Amino acid sequence: MAALLKVRLLQAEQQTVESLASVDERTREAQHPDEIAALFGDAVIDEATFITERERDLATRLTLQRDLEQIRAALQRVEHNTFGYCVQCGALIPERRLLTRPQAALCVPCQIQVERHR
């Protein structure tokens, strides 16, 4: 079980790193709207579209970065043999929860509490 979840975490880490790289790649390309216009024609990309996509990329980037932090924190817990326990109250996190979200750091009651205080 723990070994399977570790593999999943490593896969998730890999995927997140790749997604971040592709967002960065897009952001770099998008820094030159004139070049994009030259490639696709002025009609395809107007300023509003450009700004919206840039905002979306930034939001995506923040989400991916947060995911990556959580995944890496979970991998740390695997190393320290504390994986699968809630970081707040120490309760065992149900297997079902870990299978859908291996980077989960909190048990469900603690998660609900945190979300309520947000």
Residues lying near Zn ion in the complex (CB under 5 A) = 86, 88-89, 91, 107, 110
Please identify, using beta-carbon distances, which residue of 58 and 89 lies nearer to Zn ion: 89
Per-residue buried b or exposed e for 28-37, using 16+ beta carbons within 10 Å of the residue's own CB: eeeeebeebe
Smallest gap, in angstroms, from Cβ of residue 60 to Zn ion?
A: 29
Please identify, using beta-carbon distances, which residue of 24 and 94 lies nearer to Zn ion: 94
Smallest gap, in angstroms, from Cβ of residue 53 to Zn ion?
A: 39
Smallest gap, in angstroms, from Cβ of residue 89 to Zn ion?
A: 3
Smallest gap, in angstroms, from Cβ of residue 106 to Zn ion?
A: 5
Q: Please give the structure tokens belonging to residue 14.
A: 């890999």
**46 three-class SS:** coil
Please identify, using beta-carbon distances, which residue of 63 and 109 lies nearer to Zn ion: 109
As a whole number of angstroms, the distance between CA 55 and CA 52 comes to 5
Q: How many CB atoms lie within 10 A of CB 50?
A: 14
Please identify, using beta-carbon distances, which residue of 28 and 117 lies nearer to Zn ion: 117
Residue identified by tokens 């740390």 is 76
